Amino acid sequence: MVLAACGTRLSHEELLAADRQPGSAEAAQGPALGQEPAQPGDVPAGSPSADLSSTTLPPGSGTGSGDGGAVAPPSNAPAASACSRPGSPIILGTVGQLSGVVGAVFLPGVKAAQAWVSSVNARGGIACHPVQYIVADDGGDPSRQQALVRQMVEQKGVIGFLHMTAALTGQASLAYLTDRRIPVIGDGGAADWAYGSPMYFPQAATGLPAVEANYGAAGILAKLDKVPALGVISCLEATVCSGIFDVADQYSAKYGMQLKYKARVSLVQPDFTSQCQAAKSAGVQMLLVGADANTLTRMARSCNGVNFRPRFFALGSGISLALAKDPLLEGLGGGLIEAPWFATANAGVAEFQRTLAKYAPGLAPDPSAMSGWTSAKLFETAIKSVSESPTSGDLLEGLWAIRSNDLGGITAPLTFTREKPPDRSFCYWLVQIRDGKFTSPNEGQRTC
């Protein structure tokens, strides 16, 4: 669902070079996740020429800085007095694209998972076993992703992968993780391949079911705001965009909308006047945009230029908190596959916000952060008991014991069956911008 990922035809090397320039996503955030400031001789994480050991990010503090690596309790955390001595660590990993434009989308989810790790370790770990969380950037390179996954399993002792942010590269490790029986617990929402392996345990809908969930949420908004005439514009560059375009006729009808127009666009084109004019002429009332937040903002400007002001609808991965500040996007709707990040009447969401405030104070709660948190809570639910030396088998037994558990109402009811791939069931929530802030127009109702 990371639609910004392929918004260019530059080479990988050119992208990396551009991404290090002032003003890039990485430059705006400082050092890459878990990295110390660069030292002479350092190789940038994600560089195709970097040695694998240099891209496994070093241990961080586990405080609100969001550093990666083996996360320890913050220095001001209370001592774990219930444990006479710490047990063997539970070692988890994440390998995905965490730098550049794509990394900017995924980073909040990884940082939210890190905040959960810090909070758990501050309480003494899980059954006195501290949790270590190792994070590595694959730079969008499938072969690199596979090599880093192998290194984590075979050299670092990782027993499971948490919130695997590898929308573009994760399939490269599917066979290896399945053969080695290493569970993957949660992802960024674009891993349709997860439904082909019994070692994948999505925390919510992913891949094409996540696409359908967004059409379902759009159908609710179409009914509430009486805008049933739908237009669909999706990007050319990413596979998931093809899914959005290909199912437009089927899912618009299924969820009570009338498809009037559909088109494909490039994420790098600066102007969308022709598409806006065509949608306007077709009588479109609501425009579902399968693209990143920046593309959505440019499209709203183009449409306004031809006096076309439809109700815009963003997929969950395209939602940025900054969209609420754009007056041209007032009324924009969005579909989520986890509970809205602001719905603190839900105890699980309130816990999420409290934990971020304490352990990641610089991280704004948003859909990506909520996704990473939900992955962490799925792991927490599965790992109720561990052996003296934690293993992947401990994790698998706990995951297969989960039955109709929605983790306190923050995701769909989850059930995992022994040695079977996950099913494609899903739930969705509708959010909307009203008066310059995100709200829940149907009172936070979950639809499954």
Q: Is a pLDDT exceeding 50 seen at residue 91? A: yes
Regarding predicted confidence, which is higher, 418 or 444?
418
45-55 mean pLDDT = 34
Q: Which of 71-75, 190-194, 295-299, 360-364 has the lowest mean pLDDT?
A: 71-75
Residue 68: is its pLDDT beyond 50?
Answer: no
Per residue in 235-286, pLDDT (tens digit) is: 887 667 778 999 999 999 999 999 999 999 988 899 999 999 999 999 999 9
* Mean pLDDT (whole number) for 335-357: 96
Please report the sign of the dihedral spanned by the C-alpha atoms of residue 103, residue 108, residue 109, residue 114: positive
Write out pLDDT tens, residues 142-173. 999 999 999 999 999 999 999 998 888 999 99
SS (H, E, C) the chain: CCHHHHCCCCCHHHHHHHHCCCCCHHHHHCCCCCCCCCCCCCCCCCCCCCCHHHHECCCCCCCCCCCCCCCCCCCCCCCCCCCCCCCCCEEEEEEECCCHHHHHHHHHHHHHHHHHHHHHHHCCCECCECEEEEEEECCCCHHHHHHHHHHHHHCCCCCEEEEECCCCCHHHHHHHHHHHCCCEEEECCCCHHHHHCCCEECCCCCCHHHHHHHHHHHHHHHHHCCCCEEEEEEECCCHHHHHHHHCHHHHHHHCCCEEEEEEEECCCCCCCHHHHHHHHHCCCCEEEEECCHHHHHHHHHHHHHCCCCCEEEECHHHCCHHHHHCHHHCCCEEEECCCCCCCCCCHHHHHHHHHHHHHCCCCCCCHHHHHHHHHHHHHHHHCCCCCCCCCHHHHHHHHHCCCCECCCCCCCCECCCCCCCCCCCCCEEEEEEECCEEECCCCCCCEC
Q: Amino acid identity, residue 178? A: T
Percent of the chain with pLDDT over 90: 67
pLDDT at 239: 67
Q: With 90 as the cut, is the pLDDT of residue 1 above it?
A: no
| Domain covering 3-18+54-76+86-206+349-400 assigned CATH 2.60.40.10 in the classification | no
CATH fold label, 209-336+429-439:
Rossmann fold (3.40.50)
pLDDT above 90: residue 363: yes
Tell me if 427 sits within 8 A of 202, measured CB to CB. Answer: no
In this predicted structure, what is the pLDDT of residue 134?
97
Instruction: Give me the pLDDT at residue 289, please.
Output: 95
Question: Is the torsion defined by CA of 336, 333, 251, 279 positive or negative?
Answer: negative
Q: Compute the distance between CA of residue 261 and CA of residue 248 in angstroms, rounded to an integer.
A: 10
Of residues 318 and 337, more confidently modeled: 337
- The residue with greater pLDDT, 39 or 116, is 116
User: How confident is residue 189, by pLDDT bands cut at 50, 70 and 90?
Assistant: confident
Q: Residue ranges of the domains in the chain?
A: 3-18+54-76+86-206+349-400, 209-336+429-439
Is a pLDDT exceeding 50 seen at residue 34? no
The pLDDT of 348-354, averaged and rounded, is 97
Please give the Cα distance from 255 to 223 (Å, whole number).
10
Q: What is the pLDDT of residue 318?
A: 82
